[in-house]
Amino acid sequence: MKTFLQVSLVVVLAAARLAMAASAPAVGSKAPEFSAQSTAGPLSLADLRGSWVVLYFYPKSFTPGCTAEAGSLRDGIEGLRNLRATVVGVSTDDLATQREFKEKLSLPFELIADPDQKVVELYGVKGWLGMAKRRTFIIDPEGILRAVIDDVDTRKHAEQVQDLLKQLQPAPTPQGSS
Protein backbone atom coordinates (compact mmCIF):
# COMPACT_ATOMS: atom_id res chain seq x y z
CA MET A 1 0.00 0.00 0.00
CA LYS A 2 2.85 2.40 0.82
CA THR A 3 4.37 1.93 -2.65
CA PHE A 4 1.00 2.61 -4.29
CA LEU A 5 0.69 5.90 -2.37
CA GLN A 6 4.25 6.90 -3.28
CA VAL A 7 3.63 6.19 -6.96
CA SER A 8 0.31 8.03 -6.82
CA LEU A 9 1.97 11.05 -5.25
CA VAL A 10 4.67 11.09 -7.93
CA VAL A 11 2.02 10.92 -10.67
CA VAL A 12 -0.02 13.73 -9.10
CA LEU A 13 3.05 15.94 -8.72
CA ALA A 14 4.12 15.27 -12.32
CA ALA A 15 0.63 16.13 -13.57
CA ALA A 16 0.66 19.35 -11.54
CA ARG A 17 4.02 20.35 -13.03
CA LEU A 18 2.76 19.69 -16.56
CA ALA A 19 -0.38 21.71 -15.90
CA MET A 20 1.68 24.65 -14.64
CA ALA A 21 4.14 24.43 -17.50
CA ALA A 22 1.97 26.40 -19.89
CA SER A 23 4.12 27.01 -22.86
CA ALA A 24 6.21 30.12 -22.65
CA PRO A 25 6.50 32.11 -25.87
CA ALA A 26 9.47 31.16 -28.03
CA VAL A 27 12.43 33.47 -28.53
CA GLY A 28 12.04 35.07 -31.96
CA SER A 29 8.23 35.08 -31.79
CA LYS A 30 5.94 38.02 -31.20
CA ALA A 31 5.66 38.67 -27.46
CA PRO A 32 2.14 38.02 -26.16
CA GLU A 33 0.10 41.21 -26.00
CA PHE A 34 -1.42 42.11 -22.66
CA SER A 35 -3.29 44.90 -20.97
CA ALA A 36 -3.35 45.04 -17.18
CA GLN A 37 -3.55 47.34 -14.19
CA SER A 38 -0.22 48.76 -13.12
CA THR A 39 0.98 51.16 -10.47
CA ALA A 40 0.54 53.92 -13.09
CA GLY A 41 -2.91 52.81 -14.28
CA PRO A 42 -3.76 50.63 -17.28
CA LEU A 43 -0.65 49.43 -19.13
CA SER A 44 -0.31 47.33 -22.28
CA LEU A 45 2.66 45.95 -24.14
CA ALA A 46 1.60 48.07 -27.12
CA ASP A 47 2.13 51.19 -24.94
CA LEU A 48 5.82 50.26 -24.71
CA ARG A 49 6.54 49.93 -28.45
CA GLY A 50 9.66 51.74 -29.58
CA SER A 51 11.78 50.76 -26.58
CA TRP A 52 13.31 47.55 -25.35
CA VAL A 53 11.13 46.03 -22.64
CA VAL A 54 12.46 44.16 -19.63
CA LEU A 55 9.36 42.28 -18.47
CA TYR A 56 10.27 40.55 -15.25
CA PHE A 57 8.03 38.19 -13.32
CA TYR A 58 8.51 37.57 -9.62
CA PRO A 59 6.62 35.45 -7.07
CA LYS A 60 5.67 37.81 -4.25
CA SER A 61 6.33 41.38 -3.18
CA PHE A 62 8.25 41.95 0.07
CA THR A 63 9.89 38.49 0.09
CA PRO A 64 13.70 38.50 0.34
CA GLY A 65 14.46 37.34 -3.22
CA CYS A 66 11.87 39.60 -4.83
CA THR A 67 13.03 42.58 -2.79
CA ALA A 68 16.66 41.93 -3.80
CA GLU A 69 15.70 41.58 -7.48
CA ALA A 70 13.62 44.79 -7.51
CA GLY A 71 16.42 46.61 -5.67
CA SER A 72 19.00 45.45 -8.21
CA LEU A 73 16.85 46.71 -11.09
CA ARG A 74 16.21 49.99 -9.23
CA ASP A 75 19.92 50.52 -8.59
CA GLY A 76 20.80 49.67 -12.21
CA ILE A 77 18.02 51.69 -13.83
CA GLU A 78 20.29 54.34 -15.38
CA GLY A 79 22.35 51.71 -17.19
CA LEU A 80 19.15 50.07 -18.42
CA ARG A 81 17.70 53.39 -19.58
CA ASN A 82 20.96 54.15 -21.41
CA LEU A 83 20.27 50.94 -23.35
CA ARG A 84 16.78 52.27 -24.23
CA ALA A 85 15.07 49.75 -21.94
CA THR A 86 11.85 50.10 -20.00
CA VAL A 87 11.51 47.85 -16.95
CA VAL A 88 8.12 46.46 -15.91
CA GLY A 89 7.60 44.00 -13.04
CA VAL A 90 4.72 41.53 -12.80
CA SER A 91 3.46 39.46 -9.89
CA THR A 92 0.11 38.04 -8.87
CA ASP A 93 -0.09 40.45 -5.93
CA ASP A 94 -3.02 42.85 -5.87
CA LEU A 95 -2.67 46.48 -6.94
CA ALA A 96 -2.54 47.86 -3.37
CA THR A 97 0.39 45.55 -2.56
CA GLN A 98 2.18 46.49 -5.79
CA ARG A 99 1.78 50.19 -5.03
CA GLU A 100 3.12 49.70 -1.49
CA PHE A 101 6.09 47.64 -2.77
CA LYS A 102 6.92 50.29 -5.38
CA GLU A 103 6.70 53.09 -2.83
CA LYS A 104 8.64 51.38 -0.02
CA LEU A 105 11.50 50.41 -2.36
CA SER A 106 11.38 53.70 -4.35
CA LEU A 107 11.13 51.75 -7.60
CA PRO A 108 11.51 53.97 -10.69
CA PHE A 109 9.49 51.57 -12.87
CA GLU A 110 5.95 50.28 -12.96
CA LEU A 111 4.61 47.07 -11.47
CA ILE A 112 1.68 45.13 -12.88
CA ALA A 113 -0.87 43.56 -10.56
CA ASP A 114 -1.95 40.23 -12.04
CA PRO A 115 -4.11 38.57 -9.34
CA ASP A 116 -6.20 36.77 -11.98
CA GLN A 117 -2.95 35.39 -13.50
CA LYS A 118 -3.81 36.38 -17.09
CA VAL A 119 -0.39 37.85 -17.91
CA VAL A 120 1.36 35.08 -15.97
CA GLU A 121 -0.46 32.48 -18.08
CA LEU A 122 0.26 34.31 -21.36
CA TYR A 123 3.98 34.09 -20.61
CA GLY A 124 3.87 30.53 -19.24
CA VAL A 125 5.23 31.44 -15.82
CA LYS A 126 2.51 30.12 -13.54
CA GLY A 127 4.15 28.55 -10.51
CA TRP A 128 3.13 26.85 -7.29
CA LEU A 129 0.20 28.29 -5.33
CA GLY A 130 -0.73 30.54 -8.24
CA MET A 131 2.37 32.72 -7.92
CA ALA A 132 4.56 33.66 -10.87
CA LYS A 133 7.84 31.90 -11.51
CA ARG A 134 10.89 34.15 -11.44
CA ARG A 135 11.68 34.76 -15.11
CA THR A 136 12.59 37.77 -17.26
CA PHE A 137 11.66 38.38 -20.89
CA ILE A 138 13.57 40.82 -23.11
CA ILE A 139 11.36 42.24 -25.85
CA ASP A 140 12.68 44.39 -28.69
CA PRO A 141 11.14 47.73 -29.81
CA GLU A 142 8.99 45.95 -32.43
CA GLY A 143 7.50 43.56 -29.87
CA ILE A 144 9.60 40.48 -30.69
CA LEU A 145 10.79 38.32 -27.81
CA ARG A 146 14.61 38.32 -28.03
CA ALA A 147 15.71 36.55 -24.84
CA VAL A 148 14.50 34.84 -21.68
CA ILE A 149 16.42 34.73 -18.41
CA ASP A 150 15.46 31.61 -16.45
CA ASP A 151 18.36 31.62 -14.02
CA VAL A 152 17.83 34.99 -12.37
CA ASP A 153 20.50 36.19 -9.95
CA THR A 154 18.27 38.35 -7.73
CA ARG A 155 21.17 40.43 -6.36
CA LYS A 156 22.76 41.08 -9.77
CA HIS A 157 19.75 41.02 -12.06
CA ALA A 158 20.34 44.48 -13.49
CA GLU A 159 23.83 43.38 -14.57
CA GLN A 160 22.41 40.22 -16.16
CA VAL A 161 19.87 42.26 -18.11
CA GLN A 162 22.39 44.93 -19.17
CA ASP A 163 24.84 42.31 -20.44
CA LEU A 164 22.10 40.66 -22.47
CA LEU A 165 20.83 43.95 -23.88
CA LYS A 166 24.36 44.86 -24.99
CA GLN A 167 24.60 41.55 -26.85
CA LEU A 168 21.19 41.96 -28.47
CA GLN A 169 21.43 45.57 -29.56
CA PRO A 170 23.37 46.55 -32.67
CA ALA A 171 26.57 48.44 -32.06
CA PRO A 172 26.17 52.18 -32.67
CA THR A 173 27.61 53.45 -35.92
CA PRO A 174 30.41 55.99 -35.51
CA GLN A 175 29.57 59.55 -36.50
CA GLY A 176 30.65 60.41 -40.01
CA SER A 177 30.52 56.83 -41.36
CA SER A 178 28.16 55.84 -44.07
- Predicted confidence (pLDDT) per residue in 124-160, tens digit: 999 988 899 999 999 999 999 999 999 999 999 999 9
The 10s digit of each residue's pLDDT in 51-92 is 999 999 999 999 999 999 999 999 999 999 999 999 999 999
Write the burial class of residue 93 (CB in 10 Å: 0-12 exposed, 13-18 middle, 19+ buried).
buried
Contact 90, 56 (CB under 8 A): yes
Active-site positions? 66
pLDDT at position 36: 97
Whether the full predicted model's pTM is greater than 0.75, yes or no, is yes
Q: For residue 148, what are the β-bridge partners? A: 137
Q: Which of 76, 89, 74, 84 is nearest to 43 (CA)?
A: 89
d(CA 66, CA 116): 20
The DSSP string of 48-88 is GTTSEEEEEE-S-TTSHHHHHHHHHHHHTHHHHHHTTEEEE
Specify whether the CB–CB gap between 110 and 88 falls below 8 A: yes
Helix orientation angle between 157-168 and 64-75, rounded to the nearest 10 degrees = 50
What pLDDT, on the 0 to 100 scale, is given for residue 177? 53
Cβ–Cβ under 8 Å, residues 88 and 73: no
Q: What are phi and psi of 172, to 5 degrees?
A: -65, 145
CA angle centred on 113, ends 137 and 84, rounded to 5°: 40
What is the reported pLDDT for 17? 46
